[in-house]
Amino acid sequence: MSEQIAYWGYPTNILLASGCSAEAVAWCGKAGRKRPLIVTDPGVRALPWFEKLTATLRARCPDLVIFSDIRANPSLDEARNGANFFQKGSHDSIIAIGGGSAIDAAKGIALASQNPTYLEQFEWSQAMAQYPTLADYPKSELPPLIVIPTTAGTGSELSREAVLVDTDLHIKKVITHAELLAFCVLLDPDLTVGLPPGLTAMTGMDALVHHIEALCSPLFHPMSEGIALEGICLIAQHLPKAFADGSDLSARSGMLTASAMAAVAFQKGLGGVHALAHPIGARFGTLHGLLNAILLPYVMRANRNAIEPQMNRLARMLDLDGTGFNAVESWILSLRNNLNVPHNLHAVSLTENDAEWVGQQAVADISSSETNALPLNAEQYAAIYRAAVRGRLEDVTPF
């Protein structure tokens, strides 16, 4: 066999329509299942539309049960508890409703429901080493997932990964399995109209960072690159509108689409923004999308020498005034400003005292730093972080 230069695995059934979340039980049926468990979080469960949706779903499936015993950053233990609940109820499929936390918990429950040790066995780096392609995974008969995202940002609805907290070690673990890709993703803009402007902005910026980091990753993946370019155009078109008027269904649909596309784009990898945001978020609890939104221009400036070709293409795609890096940077700064995103990390109570620690942790964040446009070291990450705390973009010199 010739040397493998790339491996690409691609998505699943995706529906986009106002009200399509009502089809969740029907999609369980298409998967040959009759006893779904709804997995959600307490926040989503309390939203005004939730009861109406579950009443509609119960009309087709009277025994429908809801599991919502999870926190904002779900843990491995919560996934195990959910798996017990799943087994005791003899469920055969999962309908995940919510943002990244609920969807990741649902994936953990799906994996642990077949075997509690799977949560360790399919830890990301171990699984990637053992199963280089999707076809190499053992057949685990995981229950099919029907996923209904209620924010437009994480992309978890279309990824095969879940982030779960190991409460003993105080770290976030990533698990992955070929069968964790949803059987069907239902993108229903009606469910996102109530998302407040601040959360709309932060989750939307997370999706933007996913696309930009994927576009700038040095891996060879032209399909993902094309998706990233188009995804950025969708965000440019729809995020300001969704922020200004949450009831704009066309803008909400555009953002749900762009967010889902981002999970496909970042098969090409993420970069330094996520490498920095992961450890900071794990330690200080700062919102992931907010951190990404603040950090993006600082990391882009550090990467500048390696990403000029991508920025030239992006500036043309977005039809910006000016060319290349400078035009894209101005666009991002003005978008960020219009969405009321602060320009510095000091505004979210972070200080330069932690710079050394952040730098070391960012380098250790293999999933992100290995696919950053440039191989940055701990000192360089620390320097980017310091500049971001001060809000001095001019202090970042391209490496």
In the complex, the residues that contact Zn ion under the rule CB under 5 A are 206
To Zn ion, the closest distance from the beta carbon of 60 in angstroms equals 34
To Zn ion, the closest distance from the beta carbon of 201 in angstroms equals 14
Question: How buried is residue 107: exposed, middle or buried, by Cβ count under 10 Å (0-12/13-18/19+)?
Answer: buried
Shorter beta-carbon distance to Zn ion: residue 91 or 274: 274
To Zn ion, the closest distance from the beta carbon of 153 in angstroms equals 7
| Beta strand 36-39 pairing with 65-67 | parallel
To Zn ion, the closest distance from the beta carbon of 1 in angstroms equals 35
The DSSP call for residue 247 is T
To Zn ion, the closest distance from the beta carbon of 256 in angstroms equals 16
To Zn ion, the closest distance from the beta carbon of 270 in angstroms equals 7
Shorter beta-carbon distance to Zn ion: residue 78 or 206: 206
To Zn ion, the closest distance from the beta carbon of 322 in angstroms equals 28
Shorter beta-carbon distance to Zn ion: residue 243 or 266: 266
| Beta strand 161-166 pairing with 13-16 | unpaired
- State which residue has the least CB distance to Zn ion: 206
Shorter beta-carbon distance to Zn ion: residue 206 or 329: 206
Shorter beta-carbon distance to Zn ion: residue 33 or 210: 210
Distance separating alpha carbons of residues 352 and 343, to the nearest angstrom:
15
Of 264, 200, 201, nearest to 229 (Cα)? 264
Of 155, 324, 147, 321, nearest to 235 (Cα)? 155
E-only strand ranges, the chain? 13-16, 36-39, 65-67, 93-98, 145-149, 161-166, 171-176, 184-187
Of 38, 25, 94, 88, nearest to 66 (Cα)? 38
Distance separating alpha carbons of residues 323 and 34, to the nearest angstrom:
55
Name residues whose C-beta falls within 8 Å of residue 309's C-beta, 6 or more positions apart in sequence.
none
Shorter beta-carbon distance to Zn ion: residue 28 or 293: 293
Contact 265, 231 (CB under 8 A): yes
Shorter beta-carbon distance to Zn ion: residue 157 or 206: 206
Other beta carbons within 10 Å of 136: 10
Shorter beta-carbon distance to Zn ion: residue 143 or 281: 281
To Zn ion, the closest distance from the beta carbon of 239 in angstroms equals 15
